[in-house]
Copies of this chain bind each other. A is one copy, B any other.
Amino acid sequence: MKRVGFLLKVREECIEQYKKYHADVWDSQNAVLKKHGWNNFSLFIRPDGLLFGYVETPESFHASLAGLDTERVNTEWQELMAPLFEIAEGERPDTSMIELEEIYHLD
């Protein structure tokens, strides 16, 4: 199992919309996340929109992202989310995540 921490930045004016979407994520999107090993997955937000993700994957973040990328529903979800993020024009949020280095763990 690999624990992953990653960062993204939600546009400040889109925070409420982003939270609304995440209070009610599509069942189909949750299902493909589970299918590709996004376990114990949480998103946390700072008031300015800095977004921190924590997820436990069976193999690697790369493998779980690649698996998700094969799912049409994920493409639709990412297209819906993309305008809410501070990422380059045409970029997708799931390929713009900055993976952090884990430097300590206590079970």
Contact = CB atoms under 8 A, between A and B. Distances in A.
Interface of A: 3, 5, 7, 18-19, 22-23, 25, 30, 33-34, 38-46, 50, 52, 54, 98, 100-107
Contact of A104 (B7, B43, B104): B43
A76 B7 CA distance: 31
Q: How many copies does the complex hold?
A: 2
Contact of A100 (B18, B44, B106): B44
B98 A46 contact: yes
A102 B41 CA distance: 11
Contacts of A7: 46, 50, 52
A44 to B, nearest CB: 3
Max chain B C-beta neighbours (<10 A), residue from A45, A100, A101: A100
Contact of A45 (B22, B45, B54, B101): B101
A103 B5 contact: no
A30 B100 contact: no
